[in-house]
Amino acid sequence: MAIDLSNNHFMGEIPNTLGELRSLIVLNLSHNYLTGPIPSSLGDLSELESLDLSSNKLHGRIPAELTNLGFLAVLNLSRNDLVGRQTI
């Protein structure tokens, strides 16, 4: 299952309930006006292969729970105000 809600005018925080969509493979919320921290519940999306949260107004630390995403091949968090450890 894929959800592409990019290029809208969504505002507010990303709902924690997105973490309940366990069969989600692609989640694109880029180019909106989303604020707040990234919910750690996104780490529960065990089948997720692509996560794009770029070009929003997210802030805070990148949740360590995202390391639980074993199938994740694409991760785009650019153009936000997020902090976290960078590894190469």
What is the full per-residue pLDDT of the chain (88 aa) written as tens digits? 999 999 999 999 999 999 999 999 999 999 999 999 999 999 999 999 999 999 999 999 999 999 999 999 999 999 999 987 665 5
Q: Which two tokens stand for residue 27?
A: 């989640």
Give the CA distances from residue 30 to residues 2, 12, 76, 87, in Å, rounded to whole numbers and listed in that order: 14, 13, 9, 23
- Any idea what DSSP says for residue 47? T
Distance CA(84)–CA(62), nearest Å, equals: 6
CA-closest candidate to residue 44, choices 14, 77, 17: 17
Instruction: Please give the pLDDT value at position 84.
Output: 75
Instruction: Please give the pLDDT value at position 14.
Output: 97
Strand stretches in 1-88, DSSP E: 2-4, 11-12, 26-28, 33-36, 50-52, 57-61, 74-76, 81-83
